[in-house]
Structure 1
Amino acid sequence: MTNPINKRMIFALSLLTIAVSAVALISIWQSQQIKKFDAEITRFEENRYLTQQLTMAVLDNETGARGFVITAQKAFLEPMISSERKLDELRILLAKRTLNPELATLINDSLSPLIDLRKEFSWQMAALVNSKKYEEAVKLVLEGRGKYYTDEVRRIANKIDTIRNKMLDLKRLENERFIQNSNAVQIVVLILVLIISAFNFRQLVRIFNKQKETELQLRTSEQLYSALFYKSPIAKWIVDPATSKMLDVNNSFCELFQIKPESVIGKSTADIGLANTPGIREAVQQQLAATGCVRNLEYKTTLQNGDIKWVSMSIDPIKLDGKDCFVGASADITSLKEKEQLIAEMNENLEEKVSEKTAELRKNEKKLQELNDSLERMVEHRTAQLSAANKELEAFSYSVSHDLRAPLRGIIGFANIIQEDYGANMQEEEKRLFGIIQKNTQKMGNLIDDLLDFSRLGRKEISKTTIDTQALVKEVIDEMGKSNARTDAVEWIIGTLPSVNADLSTLRQVWVNLISNALKYSKQVSKPVIKIGSYREDDQLVFFVKDNGVGFDEQYKNKLFQVFQRLHSESEFEGTGIGLALVQKIITRHEGKVWATGEVNKGAEFYFSLPQ
């Protein structure tokens, strides 16, 4: 028969076995949950590091673009291009590693488009520099759009870090609750086992539970500490706010400040001498009082070996063994500050050069203005002289032509009287000679009339009005038909003639002279053809009169529009040699041009242009 005590011990051992198994299962589950939490913390820290690297890459991109704008040296494009590659790699990696939908939306919909805008803006500035549009590039920089993109990237990165911190705090609280609940279950089970087997397992169970709990806490602490602190590539340190003493630092901190851990741990920040910049402690206290943390506080510090470094510092509150502490992260931004200083010096030099060039330009503008004023005075003087000479010439021409008409009228009058009184008694030779006198006298009268017209034109005021050119040309042809029977034998080809703004009487004289010339020089052709038309060229209306008459030699066309210049003898074609000169003078006063082309025995083409 089995001893009741043994039965109780067996029962107690069975219960103990069951309880131990339950504790083991709960412990395994707890360990798995803790490992999962550790992995999440590691991922959060790595993502935070990626975010910080992304922000630094944006700053490198901005620095490289600005450096290239200021110096136009290709060397500045390399950091900009490398930062672009780094930006693409970091944001892809960050997007893959981010599982939270809210953070993923921020990265994909806000952060990533801003990075693309920042890159596009950098290449826009580089393109302006490559096109040597330096002023436009500098103006683009001064507009502040690039800085806005960079600041927005920083803001969104900080927002992402804030959300991650909140999520990490929630995970930490959830993990603490889980540990508390699982420990409570273990304690209840162990208490039950202790009650049942108090007579032989009480002390053993207590020792076992305590050992398990210690091992679990130690393992958890080591994992957290290793993942979050020692293995971080960012310089990190823990300080006791009550004593301002350093509790711990990682290897990155020692590398950054070139110092050994034993010379830091247990000493205050003042003893170490790292934050020796005036006002830095007050700035830290002010931000901690306002927000409870410090973000990207930049300061300059002197290391123990005399080197000077610029550092960007962030501080967050944490609890270690129930004690309030601060964990800090420091980044070396010395190279960035040096580049900013270089850019500032270059900007200052550029402003000085711009001021010098502006002063020189104003001086040159003043000289140019003086030269322009002198030239205008000379032009006004020459114009006055030319105007006076033209007036004198016109007055002289009018006076000569007018004075010649008086004796010419006498000759014509006396010739008519002689012909009436003695014409019947004249011999043939006397009649022939008398006819020559009359003909030459008439020719002289026509020449004087043409000279008077030419002279009057110089004094005639041009009164412009809208003229129906089509109707005017038809009217001129009809009037010529009344006095010249040859017009019926002509094939007239008249195109579309647009209305113009001109002086009616003088423009009518132009058409009369050109059409009468075409009739005169095509009278020897069996089938004369006269073509009249127009076309537009730039801001001018061009009209033309073409015939298939005797034409002219192109080498003498410069004489066509000169007074008394003729390309054909008077025995062939009558005329005074003033008609085309009159045409040129009229069109010139209308701010137009006259020209002609022709070929011997193949006709001539006369053109004139008027402003639209």
Structure 2
Amino acid sequence: MPSAEPSPVASPAPPAHILIAEDSGVQAYMLRRLLEEEGYATSVAKNGRLALELAARIRPSLLVSDVNMPEMSGYELCRQIKANPDLCHIPVILVTNLSDPDDVLLGLKSGADSFVIKPYDRTHMLARVQHALSNQHLRSTAEEGPGVEISFHGEKHQITASRAQILNLLMSTYETTAQRNRELHESREELAKRTTELLAANRFLDSIIENIPNMIFIKDAAELKFVRLNRAGENLLGYSRDQLLGKSDHDFFPKNESDHFVAREREVLASGKVLEIAEEPVQTANKGIRLLRTKKVAVLGENGLATHLLGISEDITQQKEMEKEILNLNAILKARAEELEASHKSLESFTSAATHDLRSPLSIIGGYAGLLEKNYASRLDEKGQRYVSIIRDNIKGMAKLIDDLLAFSKLGQREISKASVNMHGLAQQVIEELLQRHPEGSKPRVVLESLPPAQADASLLRQVWVNLLSNAVKYSSRTPNPLIEISGRIDGAEAVYSVRDNGAGFSMDHYDKLFEIFQRLHTDEEFEGNGVGLPIVQRVVTRHGGRVWAEGKVGQGAVFHFALPV
């Protein structure tokens, strides 16, 4: 049997062609893009005349026309389309505002098949297009109306539209009205929401204004009468807001004062610039004259003209009194500082002279003690020789004390010459010198970490390291395993250096005496010394703009820190 021939496949129908009559390029582009995204073919004419010519040439499936166009309106275009036997089958959708009943009558009289109300949304326009295309076949069988004459605005109109046209118009109007109602409902809900938010914002703003510690006042621009005043303003001026509101400055303040206020405020309202008053006396009701720092600014309306004047005032009376007191105290401190400087200079001169005068008798005592030991040693018994030894040791200690006192007094006179100092190298040199003089069997273990450099006087800082490290060696000498740790770091704007030992330590109860001259926290029997080393350290560091402090525990060692500006 011969095989059956395959049935032919029907080719897809071409897309419906829609002609757009629209004089606005933007509106035409948006509508064309909307329709082409849905698969329709489109053509555009920028006025009614060109749309009529193009319709006759391409015979579109649907015409969508704006109403207001040059040369030929959408109503006239629709009438001519419907009057032409070759074109009357083309459904016409008019895009209109329908803002006036006359638009409805014109739409019905023109013979339009459907209507879309501006502004339209995408869904509504597509629904109207699909409806017009789907019911196009009904156009030829639609029953024409018998004709109705109506009177509107004193004129008579003959309406011959079909029931389908009238129904389409009613549907378009209903859909538009429903849409407008939804939008109105949404607008009302949004308005209610915004009103609630505005009320909350106003309450919040009112709360802020009421609780700001500075006086805030508002005056109307016309008469400069108070329309608002916060609680701080009431407390400052001594008047309640009920007394002030609706009144002007002339109702409360002296005339000269009021005239001055008004003149300045008129300048602000005229210029629109902020007026800053650094200090202004104001007569209050119950606090006398107060000094205020005030800012005043014009509040502008929508037309750019000033409607109100806003003022913010801070009571600076107490601040000014404190500034005056501080100036007086500074003057007293300056005088005391000058007296102290003179006293220091006198003390330094006295110390220098005293130490110089002490050297001569001390050297004589030392000389005779030496002669006694040299020439009469054979005649002295053991006790006499011990006396001579005690004299020699005390002479040596006294000489060291004189040298230290002289060095301490010269610290205040010496000019500081700052340069970059290799603190690591300087500390290393001092350690080596100290350990060379120390007995080999009892040398402490020294750990030297990396130290940051400093901007300082190298010779003065050498004395700081000598005194701190000498103390660390001395006070850890009786510890079974003496350990000295030296470290440094940058901390903000300071370079901090530390010397830690595991020796005798000290009690923090006596910390206030630690850096006082001649004050010692250990007896001579425990550790020798004269109480000048740490005061020298403190004086050198403070002259460099730094600071010194320490921490310690009895029997558990101590750590001394000093910091210098970076």
**Normalization by structure 1: what TM-score?**
0.46
- TM-score (normalizing by structure 2): 0.50
Higher strand content, 1 or 2: 2
